[in-house]
A and B are shown apart, each in its own frame.
Chain A
Amino acid sequence: MKGMGNTIVAVVVGLILLSQSIFTVDQRQAALVFQLGEIVSVKKQPGLYLKIPLLQNVRLFDVRILTLDADTPERFITSEKKNVLVDYFVKWRIVDVERFYVSFNGDEVRAMNRLAQTVNDGMRAEFGRRTVHDVVSGERDSVMEVLRKKADADARRFGVQVTDVRIKRVDLPTEVSESVYRRMEAERKRVANELRSTGAAEAEKIRADADRQREVIIAEAYRDAQRIKGEGDARAAAIYAEAFSRNPEFYAFYRSMEAYRSSFRNKNDILILQPNSDFFRYMKSPRGGGK
């Protein structure tokens, strides 16, 4: 049993020693090996590494892309002296752990503060040179690219690579937004009025055109109708003329009789007659002609 106890002790001691003398570096990490506070090696590749127990210690760094996302939007002034609120984020990663450690004592927060300062300074400069419109749309890309280059150049000195600087929001301060809203409203009102009045105008045009068509249609029909009537009248006149010219004198007589008859057919028509008219000649004497 004594041999057994020795074995167990040996195993435990061995395990402790082993755990002190090996370390792994994850795919996502890089490591610095310190010997009594002095950097002796940089482990950039993932894997299993040896170190001297007790004498050496290891510090791991996350080398993935990290994000600096400003909590509150920063206020910048554009070239036309307008305030804008800008929200941005920065993608960065540690590329040189040694420098990073030396510069920031390995503290990501300190690194981000530094980055934020650089980017803010850069933005102040870039925005001060441009109008709101430029930073919102026209030159957004180039602003971001300039900022990235600047920040990257600065950050390289600390072992940091700036992958990207992206403007998230460019907003107007609340009081300016209000006036933008008023303007938008006015614009819409203009559009609405324009729509309504052009609608009314077009409707009126359609109506007027319809009225014109009506007039034309009726007038043309009237013209044709009159022509047709005229043709009828002409034909009738020709017929009458042909018939009546056979004996104009008799026609006059015959037609007069016809006309008298249709003129005096009502009791309202009062005829005041003298008995010496031809009709009454037999009233005076049976032989007539008794005048």
Chain B
Amino acid sequence: MAWNDPQWGNRNDGGPPDLDELWRRFNQRLNAAFGRRGGGAHGADQPGGGGFKLPGGAGLIVGILIAIWLASGFYIVDAGERGVVLRFGKYVETTQPGPRWHLPYPIESVEVVNVEQVRTVEVGYRNNVKSKVLSESLMLTDDENIIDLQLSVQYILKDPEDYLFNNRNPDEAVRQVAESAIREIVGKSKMDFVLYEGRAEVADRATRLMQQLLDRYRTGIQISKVNLQNAQPPEQVQAAFDDAVKAGQDRERLKNEGQAYANDVIPRASGVAARLLEEANGYKQRVEANAIGEAERFKQILAEYNKAPQVTRERLYLEAMQEILSNSTKILIDDKGGGNLLFLPLDKLMQAAGANVATEAAPPSPENIQPAAKSDNLFRSRDAFRSREREERP
């Protein structure tokens, strides 16, 4: 097992070893191992070899070929990548970003894996949430309802060796695991929970379950995020669900309307109440003031009356009667003189009195004259209008 000699691996970690030195060592070891026999079963895959005595030109060509062969072992690991080096198919090491060198083919090979790139798997849709894959997105809930759910899973690699060596198709495994996990979680949740309040928790639990499964398969994959793109009832029942949501809004609206009514009525009532109280206070003060006033007046009069009762009484009586009789319609009847034949057309008297009142009251109130004057006014205004027209025309 000369090829598995540990000296093959004697490389500085920092980068490729010095080529000259390597070349020299290589020659020495070849010479030491095979002497000048050459062409043995071992080492014959090397094109020529420094130990052979060849003509100068051929030696140079062989040297160049070997240099090219050695140079083919250079590779670059970009940021975010890891190089996984295999020697004869067996894992030896994982290299960090930077320029690297491995023993050239066929001894060692390298597989560069991007570990930090975020990869995405879509479940229930492809590319766009609108292009649904119903067979993936429809799932049963605990209360035997069906919901339509799309999610995307983002993941990175936490272990490039596991990622490369343990699963034939680790990326496909993410999809399978995602589908299985989300269905398990949804299957254990009630529909309303998944659709409304529990979305974050569903995603969270799905993440955990997926990670657990992926770890069980040793995929070397780290789930970084599970996004529930869309969780909704299936299209067939969408309308009913929308209506239920609308009903919730309606309920709030109705309550608000009721509240609005209350907010309208109660302050108004308070206003009315305040008015009642104010009016009552006003009444009270008025009544009291009136009482005080009238009482004062009476006391004054009384004081004078006490001084000359007979005269004052007579005077007051006559004054009052005078005022009454001068203000009202009166009919004086001497019932001793043929009172039986007396005809009193009371209704006419009333009318006459009313007309009197009307004419007396007429000047200040315009409504009273209007019925009579209306047509007249109309004509007049029309005439005025016409004359104005005439004036305006040349």
Contacts and interface: CB of A to CB of B under 8 A. Distances in A.
A231 B86 contact: no
B280 A224 contact: yes
Interface string B350-361: 100110110010
Nearest to B354: A268
B254 interface: yes
A103 B45 CA distance: 38
Which of B168, B270, B350 has most chain A Cβ within 10 Å? B168
A18 interface: yes
A24 interface: yes
Nearest to B172: A67
Contact of B327 (A18, A137, A203, A265): A265
Nearest to B349: A270
Nearest to B40: A14
B89 A27 contact: yes
Interface in A217-267: 217-218, 220-222, 224-229, 231-233, 235-237, 239-240, 242-244, 246-247, 250-251, 253-254, 257-258, 260-261, 263-267
Given A188-B237, A210-B261, A11 B89 contact: no
A62 to B, nearest CB: 6
A217 B270 contact: yes
B335 interface: yes
Given A202-B258, A243-B295, A232 B287 contact: yes
Contact of A180 (B146, B173, B309): B146
Interface string A1-40: 0000001001100110110010011111100000000000
B259 to A, nearest CB: 6
A124 interface: no
Contacts of A224: 276-277, 280
B266 A210 contact: yes
B44 A14 contact: yes
Given A247-B305, A254-B298, A272-B333, A203 B328 contact: no
A72 B87 CA distance: 42
B284 A228 contact: yes
B283 A228 contact: yes
Interface in B262-314: 262, 265-266, 268-270, 272-274, 276-277, 279-281, 283-288, 290-292, 294-296, 298-299, 301-302, 305-306, 309, 313
Interface residues of A, number: 118
A211 B299 CA distance: 51
Nearest to B39: A10
Contact of A202 (B42, B47, B254): B254
Nearest to A230: B284
A195 B248 CA distance: 6
Interface string A161-199: 001101111111000011011001100110111011011
Contacts of B353: 267-268, 270
A220 B288 contact: no
Q: Which range holds the interface residue count of chain B?
A: 35 or more
A206 to B, nearest CB: 4
Given A169-B183, A225-B276, A240-B291, A15 B146 contact: no
B179 interface: yes
A279 B325 CA distance: 10
Nearest to A204: B258
Contacts of A65: 166-168, 173, 217-218
Contact of B39 (A14, A168, A177): A14
A54 interface: no
Contact of B90 (A27, A195, A226): A27
A222 B276 contact: yes
B323 interface: yes
Interface in B209-262: 213, 216-218, 233-234, 236-237, 240-241, 243-244, 246-248, 250-255, 257-259, 261-262
A195 B251 contact: yes
Contacts of A180: 144-146
A193 B240 contact: no
Interface stretch (B20-28, B134-142, B373-381): B134-142
Contacts of B265: 210-211, 213-214
Contacts of A276: 334
Given A67-B176, A236-B290, A169 B139 contact: yes
Contact of B166 (A15, A64, A279): A64
A275 interface: yes
Which of B276, B349, B354 has most chain A Cβ within 10 Å? B276
A267 B86 contact: no
B41 A17 contact: yes
Which of B4, B273, B327 has most chain A Cβ within 10 Å? B273
A98 B323 CA distance: 143
B302 A199 contact: no
Contacts of B291: 235-237, 239-240
Contact of B240 (A189, A203, A215): A189
B331 interface: yes
Given A21-B41, A141-B184, A199-B250, 15 more contacts: A7-B38, A11-B39, A65-B168, A136-B142, A166-B177, A191-B247, A192-B246, A202-B254, A202-B255, A206-B261, A210-B266, A264-B324, A266-B328, A273-B333, A279-B325
12 contacts: A7-B38, A167-B183, A198-B251, A202-B254, A217-B269, A247-B302, A254-B298, A269-B327, A270-B330, A270-B349, A271-B330, A279-B321
